[in-house]
Amino acid sequence: MIFLEIKKVAVIGSGLMGHGIAEVFALSGFEVRIEDAFPEALEKAKASIGKSVEKLVKSGRIDQQKGKDTIARISYFSQMEPAVKDADFIIEAVPEIMELKKEVFSGIDKFARPDAIVASNTSNIKISSLAENMKHPENVVGMHFFNPPVVLKLVEVIKGEKTSQKVFDETFELSRKIGKTPIKVLKDSAGFVVNRINAPESLFFCLVLDQNVAKPEEVDTFARGQGLPMGPYELMDYVGIDTVVHSLDYYAQELSPEYGKCKAFRTMYESKNLGLKTGKGFYTWKEGHAEIPKASPTEKLELMDVLAVELNEAVKIIEEKIALPADIEIGVKLGMNRPFGPISVAEGLTNAEVKKKLETLAAKYGTVVFEPAESIKKGKLKEIISIKSFDQDGKKPATAPEVPAGSSSSPGDQVVIMEKLPGKVARISINNTKNNLLSSEVLSDLEKNILALWNDHDVNVIIVTGKGPVFSAGAQLSQFFPGSMDFMEHSRKGERTFRLLSEIPKITIAEMKGYTLGGGFELSLACDLRVGTEDVQIGFPEVTLGLVPGWGGTQRLPRLLGTSRASYLILTGTRFSGKEAFDMGIVNRLFPKEHVDEETLKFAEELAQKAAPTAAALAKRLINKGSEVPMDAGLEMESIAMGLLYGTDDLKEGISAFLQKRKPEYPGR
């Protein structure tokens, strides 16, 4: 497919979303025009973009020249015509008011080129409604960014009823070009994916108040206890009660009249208690912070109440062929800043328990919105969440059980990246959140990559590290587990995966930098050797969180340091530096922080060249297994290893190279 070469982008609306979207495009090299009818809004946008770019430069994310170029690419207009007349791509980012958006679209239709792509950043309104009076509705598409656009990766690309496949695909690829992670919304629906899943949740928390089930502060205290940064009512205050009410009204019109049942939010809206923007909502707001009364967490709600409602809506989205499970999972994780989405939740639950929970909620709160989706009613939850593609002929949907829900083929979205490097070295990098947290998905991908390298004779040494400045700050503790047995099996999974590193017939090196905490420290202990920077922060904080090191830490650290010192480090949760770890014998080499990646690679290449692969594989097995058996058995294993090595090509090459005073070239056999 030949795509339109997009160079000039026009953004209509210079508010928080508008100027953020403009900055994203400018950072990616596009010429950008921002249009707003209010000059003071344009001045505010210009100042905000300047501050944002300056912050990016100071943080080192971009250099000074790129910062200057980004600012230079943006022009400001108070008239529609000059802003859009020769633009290749136009995106509307005005407030969520249907009449206002249609007025903007009318102006674009009047002045834009007939072949220009016209997108809307609407978060709720159906794209087909906005395109209905356009001359070229086939060129109209949804491109929903999340706030703040410069930071958040997710973009929902929405296909309206008349959007051409070419425009849809081109907008999807454009989203990738500007560094975003797009998901495909294949059928137009109010709320699309993320906000559609949020819709019944908003109704749920309104009905909780309507029926006096619990107070806002009790619910929010409960929510924060589940690891959420904000409770639902604090978040609604922050977003604006008016926004929540308008959304529910729209859902009542487009999805189900049941969304109109909410009374508590409407009462607040009518009394102008809108939250942060008015200084008072559920809570009083001062200097941007909510004053939340101290309260005990409610015992009248369960986490499963919310998860079941979200999961139910996700199933409806799949049933209506709006989006596929993998895109729903990615959308919720990135759009709602969560470690897991509803598809992961569904994988850990039975159809029966989800169905029972939804029936209970529907009866308790008196709404059909919470009633189980058709697939759940029929006991087909597992089947529908495994759908890989929608069959256009209406036959049974294709499935792909071997592809984990929520995974992505895009390198930027891979949670573990494996690279084969020159010099018989491979590098496995954790790439999950800014602190490279270890989740079930990371463990699965780590296992897959270790096994892929197991019999690879082109690799002698494996570096295990984290993408960026951090090795790993530990386990992703906010991950969803249905019960204690599931959490236990998660621990066993980590233990088995890390054990592979001690058993793989390659030398493994942990490159410790930034934070190497908890599960990250356990991962490094599973490697044969450890290198790091002097300032790397290392430790086991588990006991201070009510846990224990559960991926081999309580077994490996005592074997390395002795019981007394290991007990102190584990029981106190003490953090220590790379230099202290070197002095204790945990870290084998220290490298300068600014060159740790290069020095680790150099060290790995040297090892790969001078250590005979067969001898190294047997030596590490003797070291690891020998510590688990009596001395006599260990010595017997050692003598057997010597016998196995006698006559190998590696031994012949090693002796030959030594006598000829040259570097060996081991064949690995």
Location of structure tokens 């294949």: 186
Helix, strand, or coil here: 510? Answer: strand
Helix, strand, or coil here: 89? Answer: strand
Helix, strand, or coil here: 536? Answer: coil
What gap in Å lies between CA 9 and CA 119, rounded to an integer?
Answer: 11
Location of structure tokens 């994780």: 333
Order of strands across the sheet that contains 515-517: 515-517, 537-539, 576-577
553-to-20, 475, 517, 569, 669 alpha-carbon distances in Å = 44, 13, 11, 11, 34
The answer to whether the CB of 128 falls within 8 A of the CB of 161 is yes
What gap in Å lies between CA 387 and CA 385, rounded to an integer?
Answer: 6
**Element (DSSP H or E) covering residue 16:** helix 16-27
Round to the nearest angstrom and report the end-to-end CA distance of the chain. Answer: 49
Q: How many residues does the structure list for the chain?
A: 669
> Which residue in 522, 599, 636, 638 is the catalytic one?
522
What gap in Å lies between CA 302 and CA 295, rounded to an integer?
Answer: 17
Helix, strand, or coil here: 431? Answer: coil
What gap in Å lies between CA 634 and CA 636, rounded to an integer?
Answer: 5
All residues at 6 or more sequence positions from 119 whose CB lies less than 8 Å from its CB, including other chains: 89, 90, 91, 92, 140, 141, 142, 143, 171
What gap in Å lies between CA 92 and CA 14, rounded to an integer?
Answer: 10
> Which residue in 542, 580, 598, 638 is the catalytic one?
542
Residue 283 tokens read as: 């809570």
Judge whether 522 counts as a catalytic residue.
yes
What gap in Å lies between CA 335 and CA 337, rounded to an integer?
Answer: 6
Judge whether 170 counts as a catalytic residue.
no
Angle in degrees, 0-180, between the axes of helices 484-503 and 440-453, rounded to the nearest 10: 20
The answer to whether the CB of 565 falls within 8 A of the CB of 509 is no
Radius of gyration of the chain (CA): 28
List residues with catalytic annotation: 522, 542
